[in-house]
A and B are shown apart, each in its own frame.
Chain A
Amino acid sequence: QKEVEQDPGPLSVPEGAIVSLNCTYSNSAFQYFMWYRQYSRKGPELLMYTYSSGNKEDGRFTAQVDKSSKYISLFIRDSQPSDSATYLCASRYYMDSNYQLIWGAGTKLIIKP
């Protein structure tokens, strides 16, 4: 079992819909949670990060962390075709004097015009 689980999709929704992307993690030591967006043939780019449980909002994007259930979510409001990409979640924890970053497999999102 991977430490960060993410459904690879693809997830296809119509333009304007609310999108919900999710990850689960298994290690309670994970402290820091990030969402990256990767367009086809490009490198991943940081979208949002959060440390604590609760919601963090940035424009049309909301990151949500529930540490009690070890669940991470990314919501996209008013989805646009330009949001079509692969979304990767990542979790970070501190072990053996080093930070470890654990990646999900990525969910491919398709927004249909």
Chain B
Amino acid sequence: DAGVIQSPRHEVTEMGQEVTLRCKPISGHNSLFWYRQTMMRGLELLIYFNNNVPIDDSGMPEDRFSAKMPNASFSTLKIQPSEPRDSAVYFCASSRDRYEQYFGPGTRLTVT
């Protein structure tokens, strides 16, 4: 199995620009999670989906963040407009029935 795939691996953008992060979960997994990791705040859950339906988005910091999962094999996390404080590593993880989570390699986002 290829594991969780994320793209891009690195993203550098200017403040105010739209950023879209992409994730392909492991085939057969029905739960998908978006996390943000920073030195200051550690690993934070932003949102998770079960069977393509958003279940808990209480971790989404503000309306500038949105996430979609149009089908079982693809999800996006969008930030519009981006701000320097959004700079972090964003991880996508998937699991089967919300048990052990398997993480992707992450997208390192830098907003200047």
Within 8 A of A (CB), among B87-112: 91, 93, 98, 100-106, 108
Kindly provide the distance from the CB of B89 to the nearest chain A CB, expressed in whole angstroms. Answer: 8
Kindly provide the distance from the CB of A106 to the nearest chain B CB, expressed in whole angstroms. Answer: 6
Task: Confirm or deny: A111 has a beta carbon within 8 angstroms of a beta carbon on chain B.
Answer: no
The B contact surface, by secondary structure, is strand
User: Are B106 and A34 touching (Cβ within 8 A)?
Assistant: no
User: Are A101 and B100 touching (Cβ within 8 A)?
Assistant: no
Kindly provide the distance from the CB of B44 to the nearest chain A CB, expressed in whole angstroms. Answer: 8
User: Are B105 and A43 touching (Cβ within 8 A)?
Assistant: yes
User: Are A43 and B91 touching (Cβ within 8 A)?
Assistant: yes
How many Å lie between the Cα of A98 and that of B100 in the bound state?
A: 15
Report how many residues on chain A are interfacial, defined by Cβ distance under 8 Å: 17
User: Are A101 and B45 touching (Cβ within 8 A)?
Assistant: yes
Task: Confirm or deny: A49 has a beta carbon within 8 angstroms of a beta carbon on chain B.
Answer: yes
Task: Confirm or deny: B12 has a beta carbon within 8 angstroms of a beta carbon on chain A.
Answer: no
Q: Which residues of A contact B91 (CB under 8 A)?
A: 43-44
How many Å lie between the Cα of A42 and that of B104 in the bound state?
A: 8
Kindly provide the distance from the CB of A79 to the nearest chain B CB, expressed in whole angstroms. Answer: 23
Q: Which residues of B contact A101 (CB under 8 A)?
A: 45, 101
Within 8 A of B (CB), among A38-54: 41-46, 49
Residues of B within 8 A of A (CB): 4, 42-43, 45, 55-56, 91, 93, 98, 100-106, 108
Pick the 3 closest A-B CB pairs, nearest first.
Answer: A43-B103, A105-B42, A99-B98
Residues of A within 8 A of B (CB): 34, 36, 41-46, 49, 88, 98-99, 101, 103-106
